[in-house]
Amino acid sequence: MLRFFVLCTLALASRADIAEEDDVLVLKKSNFEEALKAHPNILVEFYAPWCGHCKALVPEYAKAASTLKAEGSDIRLAKVDATEEADLAQEFGVRGYPTIKFFKGGDKDSPKEYSAGRQADDIVNWLKKRTGPAATTLGEVAQAESLIADNEVAVIGFFKDVESEGAKAFLKAAEALDDVPFGITSDDAVFSKFEVSKDAVVLFKKFDEGRNTFDGELNKADLLSFIKGNQLPLVIEFTEQTAPKIFGGEIKSHILMFVPKAASDFNDKMSEFKKAAEGFKGKILFIFIDSEVDDNQRILEFFGLKKEECPAIRLITLEDEMTKYRPESEAITAENIIAFCTLFTEGKLKPHLMSQDIPEDWDKNPVKVLVGKNFEEIVFDPKKNVFVEFYAPWCGHCKQLEPIWTKLGEKYKESSDIVVAKMDSTANENEAVKVHSFPTLKFFPAGDDRKVIDYNGERTLEGFSKFLESGGKEGGAPAGEDEEEEADDMEDLDDQDEDSDGEGGDHDEL
């Protein structure tokens, strides 16, 4: 009897051990299983205390947790300090911070990756989509008004017959989008309130035109295209919260206006920028970046800008490779921006490649200094074997590599055909190599065929030497081994500070 009492007491203690902070459950390995049993639908954030993005997420994550709890939802939000609970982090494949996973129905084996934005509304809408109907049935005007009032963007399908083919296509589109709430109605009063006389799909938003009505064939593909093309403002500010929407969209050509938000002429610049945006809707995403914000300085650096050079305009494509463009005129007027974007859409612009001036003593030390202006001449010298480190001054892994790279340069400084070099890729670019992470190591063997060989082996003097002396054939790991560490696009620009102290993987992402 005593043993039974002790066991019951321990069980109760275990259940009570799930602490909460601002309505967010605090999970550990010791209570994780218990949490899944007690809360079948639970969103878990794996975070690191030092992670800037995790810190920025805290208030929105707590707001989402409180909203759901106040509604009486069975969905709970939780967090795990992945630096303390390393076993849990490893079990669920956590490689970066924050990593957010949804455990539905208590299923621990196949959690769903969270894929929406980082604002409270985004989180709540995504979770409701995962646990409820794709579109809420709106049986009265008040429900429709509430859906519109409570969300930045909402989509309502007006269908006299909710079993029609058009309504079915609408529901399929609703199932495919996680970051926008959908409603569906056949109520005459709702039709009348919003001045809809026949079957229609209307996107309501708290910016720009206020609403957009779909005009086309009711099928999933066209509906998704309509929604994605209208759910963002004509001009959107780049922030921690908007980044997922910016980079997760289908528009991969972005024009950026770097401007101090506190500047006296900010509204004038925004007016010109927005005026230009009207003609490129669905083709180019117009984004402005506050050039005075500390977190945005590396983005400026990526474009070769300093905040004292702002306001400034740049354009970037985020296809297979990032390509940057710079307008000839720095004047921010609608006319200049329209002309610049028109040349881009017509394929008449040449990429803008950054370069520092060639240092007078670039070849004085054993490790030669490359910039954009001397890159081609040095690395593609048919008589030289050139080994180049592409680095970033802030990169922790690059700083760790520096003494070894210096020793490598010393070892081959008297060689007649081997050159050890480095290039600051935050200030210099070239057409031959697109750098996505730091340090990136490339070997350019002698010859006329402009061959480029990746180095993925051990970062030791012995490993580098073996690789060089074999002409790039021995000592390197199989190509592609570190591909998963690389960034795919400019979204990772705001992640640069996370690993700059040398923690994490073998690369600092661009």
| Catalytic positions | 51, 54, 395, 398
Question: Distance of CA 270 to CAs 160, 311, 401, Å?
Answer: 42, 11, 44
Query: What residues contact residue 18 under an 8 Å CB cut-off, 6+ apart?
Result: 25, 26, 27, 31, 34, 35, 38
* Nearest residue to 455 (alpha-carbon basis) of 497, 491, 410, 401: 401
Size of the chain in residues: 510
DSSP string, 102-149: EE-TT--SSPEEP-S-SSHHHHHHHHHHHHS-SSEE--SHHHHHHHHH
Would you give the DSSP letter of residue 322? E
* Nearest residue to 427 (alpha-carbon basis) of 344, 503, 341, 369: 369
* Packing angle of the helix pair 52-70, 120-131 (nearest 10 deg): 60
Query: What residues contact residue 311 under an 8 Å CB cut-off, 6+ apart?
Result: 257, 258, 259, 260, 263, 269, 291, 332
C-beta separation of 76 from 257 below 8 A: no
Q: In DSSP terms, which residues pair with 213 in a beta bridge? A: 202
User: Is the torsion defined by CA of 209, 214, 216, 219 positive or negative?
Assistant: positive
Give the C-alpha separation, 326 to 329, whole Å.
Answer: 9
